[in-house]
Amino acid sequence: VVVDYQGEVYFGDETLTGNGRGIMQREDFGRFKAKSVNLPPVSELDGLIIAFITRRNTVVPIASKLTLEQGAAAFMLGESIETSASDPKRAGESVREVGTNPFIIGDYAQEGNRFYEFIKKYPEKIQCYLLNTGGVGEIMERDEHGNKVIRQKVLRVEIPEMASIIRGIVRGTIEWEKEPHFGTLVPKKVEGVDMSKFDLNKFYTKEQIDFYVKELKKERIEWLEKFPGLNPEILKAVKGE
What does 165-222 look like in DSSP terms, one character per residue? HHHHHHHT--EEEE-TTTS-EEEEEBTTB-GGGG-GGGTS-HHHHHHHHHHHHHHHHH
Average pLDDT over residues 156-163: 96
Predicted model pTM: 0.85
Average pLDDT over residues 61-65: 98
Q: Residue 157 falls within a domain, yes or no?
A: yes
pLDDT at 35: 84
Q: Residue 25 falls within a domain, yes or no?
A: no
Question: Which of 113, 73, 99 lies closest to 219, judged by CA?
Answer: 73
Instruction: Of 23-37, 134-148, 219-233, give the range with the top mean pLDDT.
Output: 219-233
From 37-46, 142-151, 169-178, 186-195, the region with the lowest mean pLDDT: 142-151
Q: Residue 137 falls within a domain, yes or no?
A: yes
From 41-50, 141-150, 180-189, 207-216, the region with the lowest mean pLDDT: 141-150
Is 215 within 8 Å of 203 (Cβ atoms)? Answer: no
Q: Residue 50 falls within a domain, yes or no?
A: yes
> Which sign does the torsion angle of CA 164, 166, 170, 172 carry?
positive
What is the number of structural domains in the chain?
1
Indicate if the pLDDT at residue 39 is higher than 90.
no
Percent of the residues in the chain that have a pLDDT greater than 70, as a whole number: 94
Strands 94-96 and 139-142: unpaired
pLDDT at 84: 58
Residues 6+ apart with CB under 8 A from 74: 52, 54, 66, 128, 130
Average pLDDT over residues 221-230: 96
pLDDT at 198: 97
pLDDT at 91: 63
Instruction: Of 33-42, 61-70, 87-96, give the range with the top mean pLDDT.
Output: 61-70
Q: Residue 24 falls within a domain, yes or no?
A: no
From 21-35, 88-102, 119-133, 186-200, the region with the lowest mean pLDDT: 88-102
CA dist., res. 66 & res. 68, Å (int): 6
Is 50 within 8 Å of 65 (Cβ atoms)? Answer: no
Is 133 within 8 Å of 198 (Cβ atoms)? Answer: no
Strands 155-156 and 148-152: unpaired
pLDDT: which is higher, 102 or 174:
174
Domain that holds residue 108: 42-239
Residues 6+ apart with CB under 8 A from 237: 67, 69, 70, 72, 73, 183
pLDDT at 66: 98
Q: Residue 49 falls within a domain, yes or no?
A: yes
Indicate if the pLDDT at residue 197 is higher than 90.
yes
CA dist., res. 20 & res. 14, Å (int): 8
pLDDT at 86: 62
Q: Residue 31 falls within a domain, yes or no?
A: no
Is 179 within 8 Å of 188 (Cβ atoms)? Answer: no
Question: Which of 2, 6, 130 lies closest to 65, judged by CA?
Answer: 130
CA dist., res. 164 & res. 168, Å (int): 6
Residue 20's pLDDT band, with cuts at 50, 70 and 90, is confident
Query: What is the CATH number for 189?
Result: 3.90.228.20
Indicate if the pLDDT at residue 156 is higher than 90.
yes
Q: Residue 13 falls within a domain, yes or no?
A: no
